[in-house]
Amino acid sequence: MRVTFWLILVATLIAVVLAYIRLAPSDPARWHVDPMMAERPSGDGWLVRPEGGNERGAVHACSPETLLDALDKIALAYPRTRHLAGSMAEGQITYISRSKVFGFPDYTTVTTLDVDGGATPAIFARQRFGQKDMGVNRARIEAWTSSLNAVPECPPVS
């Protein structure tokens, strides 16, 4: 009888935690952060920007607005990703992407910068729960930037 009670209690606690992970509200004020002002993540996210990030984004032969529009289309086509905050007019957009099985939320904020010869992305990806993301944010951003390199309106500058 006691074993059954404890099994039910543990199963209920797990269900509550998993429900919280999936259903907890995402506060745009907390997650809609300018990638140029963000601190470089140490093992728990990925930051792409011209200086001080985990890597530099490629320069693309198009305007920052065209580059942001292309990034927006790429992000929204990515599995389990939706818009959280920001807009094209604002010049900065934040997305929430959820893991397939448990629905862990990751937040990715993108903006684009005018640089000599075109535009470059600034992208800040991080997870909400846990200390390490096991490379998930880096993989997502590398997939997005790889797709961006194939956009005909914004070819990378060699």
Does 14 have pLDDT greater than 90? no
- Rounded Cα–Cα distance for residues 47 and 24 (Å): 25
The vertex-38 CA angle with 107 and 98, nearest 5°, equals 10
Per-residue pLDDT band for 91 (boundaries 50, 70, 90) equals: very high
* CATH label of the domain that carries residue 67: 3.30.310.80
Domain tally, the chain? 1
- CA 100, CA 107: separation in Å to the nearest integer? 15
Answer whether residue 19 is part of any domain: no
Domain that holds residue 55: 26-148
Question: Which is more confidently placed, 26 or 140?
Answer: 140
The residue type at 89: A
CA distance 37 to 153: 28
Q: Given this model, what pLDDT does residue 41 score?
A: 82
Average pLDDT, the chain: 90
Q: Which distant-in-sequence residues (6+ apart) come within 8 Å of 29 by Cβ?
A: none
144 within a domain of the structure (yes/no): yes
Tokens of 86: 């920001």
